Structure 1
Amino acid sequence: MFSLKNKHAVITGGGSGIGRAISLLFAKQGATIHIIELNADAAQQTADEAIAAGGQAYVYAADISQQQQVLDVFAKINRVDILVNNAGIAHVGNLERTSPDDLDRIYNVNVKGAYNALYAAIPKMKAIGGGAIVNMASIAAWVGITDRFAYSMSKGAIMAMSLSVARDYLADNIRCNTISPARVHTPFVDGFIAKNYPGKEEEIFEKLSKSQPIGRMGKPEEVAALALYLCSDQAGFITGTDYPIDGGFITLNN
């Protein structure tokens, strides 16, 4: 089950964290992975690890917020069965501490970046008779998170965009779903804590871990396993649906 043999999967932001875990798992399950990443060196490390384990992997350096760069990358990929829109950035601040530049920066990467990849991938999926898309949303699209105005905006947009794509391409056999993680322990989280809470890293890590009712952060590999299922043929009856992977954050945090 959950074989991706003979499928070609495009993963944005596959150089670290969740994207890296998805890339490695998809390659393990037989997919040829195509990693689009601003940090080409990090993406190459992921690809090298996938290849060393017997997989097939390719790396493309691109800024997903720039449509022409994304179109140029997809022009090099002959077949697209799977798209995982994972690349994204964060911003800390409420509305008053979100400048127009902050809002534009988040929108350009998190929203326009996903749009650019969708715009490039869907014609290729239509050409082969179907495909599977997973867009990375967030619990911030479901519940109010303190000081995450711009980030929450972007993930709410991802949710709405995904429903639109799922509806519009039913007849083309293209499925589109979202995953909404709570806090997942990635290098990004460690860097965020170190930058914003110097000297209090252990204390803040513990606090953030305990904010999940289950008592810990998620693991990138757990998100990757869910993405694998949603992109596999076994999930062929699932589209237009969001899957929180949140340690109970949305429903049990009271």
Structure 2
Amino acid sequence: MSIDFHQRGRTAFDLSDKVVVVVGAGQSDGPGMGNGRAISLLAARHGAEVVAVDLNPASVKETVEMIVAEGGRAYAIEANVAHEDDCRRIFDTAMATSGRVDGMVYSVATNPPFDFETNSMTVENFNYGLNVNMLGCYHCNLFAAQCMEKNDGDTAGSIVNISSIASVKNEIGLNVGIMPYALGKCGLNQITEIAAVQYAGAGIRVNTLMLGPINSVLAQQASQSLFGVDADEAAQRHSEVVKLKMGRGTVWESAYAALYLLADESRFMTGQQIRLDGGATLVR
């Protein structure tokens, strides 16, 4: 399939006729917006049918209602990505309902309860953190790629795994003290590279979007509940590690970066770990 990038008047980042599964399309309770919801909205605004997946049925239903209210197309699936069967059901449902999968975004993370002073937690919480942050990513990448292998064309699909600079930088302001979160995102980075090699021949792209200090609902809650700081102090800690004078990024920066990776414009990019961090990981 030839893509006429040179054509004058071409619509950029056009996801029309594409089905995009966003795993983590709901969000935690609280003011603001999560990365998954912003990505879902933006993908729909650019023409995609969005399969919105989340553990929280009320929250993901709200995401779908927001998309439909704007004239977009979406439906919800409730699933717990800590379980392989739930991950498989996501893509079985998408294929049965929409007939294809063109894009998948894994925008899921959890910070299990832990003792900050001793950096300790129960085995159950540790394992659940890894199951959500890493094992669920593996299963969703696997099942998404199996769907995409059925597509025609030289670019058959795009997988975007949302990671964190917590996987590469050890600094308290970046929530790195939470072991299964940091380890899970490290594993996610490797899943991206392995899957990119495995599925390149099928025309499937797999990339990591590694986020820095973004003002998502989850990031706000984790900073306050896990580290015992208020909203203003959390914002200050995050801003201190950002090199750009803009301070923290928004979920819309995340969403537009994910949009690029989902769209045909990124058809020559795979296996990459793209840092969207305001320069936080630059050597100081």
Is TM (by shorter chain) over 0.5?
yes
Offset, 1:248: 0.4
CA 198–139 in structure 1, closer or farther in 2 if over 3 Å, else same: closer
Q: 1:150 and 1:139 mapped to 2: Cα distance?
A: 14
Once superposed, what is the RMSD of the aligned Cα atoms? 1.9
User: What residue in structure 2 maps to residue 32 of structure 1?
Assistant: 49
Give the letter for the 2:213 counterpart: R
**TM-score (norm: length of structure 1):** 0.93
Give the letter for the 1:168 counterpart: Q
Offset, 1:115: 1.4
CA 234–195 in structure 1, closer or farther in 2 if over 3 Å, else same: same
Offset, 1:141: 1.9
Give the letter for the 2:256 counterpart: A
Percentage of identical aligned residues: 27
Question: Are residues 1:88 and 2:109 paired?
Answer: yes
CA offset digits 1:187-212 (Å, max 9, x no partner)? 22332344346674323322322322
Q: In the alignment, which of 174, 182, 191 is matched to residue 212 of structure 2?
A: 182
* Alignment: residue pair count: 253
* Deviates most, 123-132 or 17-26: 123-132
Give the letter for the 2:264 counterpart: D
User: What residue in structure 2 maps to residue 141 of structure 1?
Assistant: 167
Q: Is the 8 A contact 1:94 1:148 kept in 2?
A: no
Offset, 1:213: 2.0
Q: Is the 8 A contact 2:109 2:181 kept in 1?
A: no
**TM-score (norm: length of structure 2):** 0.84
User: What residue in structure 2 maps to residue 109 of structure 1?
Assistant: 132
CA 172–55 in structure 1, closer or farther in 2 if over 3 Å, else same: same
Give the letter for the 2:170 counterpart: G
Structure 2 unaligned segments of length 5 or more: list them. Answer: 1-11, 28-33
CA 66–94 in structure 1, closer or farther in 2 if over 3 Å, else same: farther
Give the letter for the 1:221 counterpart: W
> If each structure's helix is expressed as a fraction of its own residues, which one has the higher value?
1
Q: 2:43 and 2:230 mapped to 1: Cα distance?
A: 36
CA 125–199 in structure 1, closer or farther in 2 if over 3 Å, else same: closer
User: What residue in structure 2 maps to residue 173 of structure 1?
Assistant: 203
Q: Is the 8 A contact 1:37 1:60 kept in 2?
A: yes
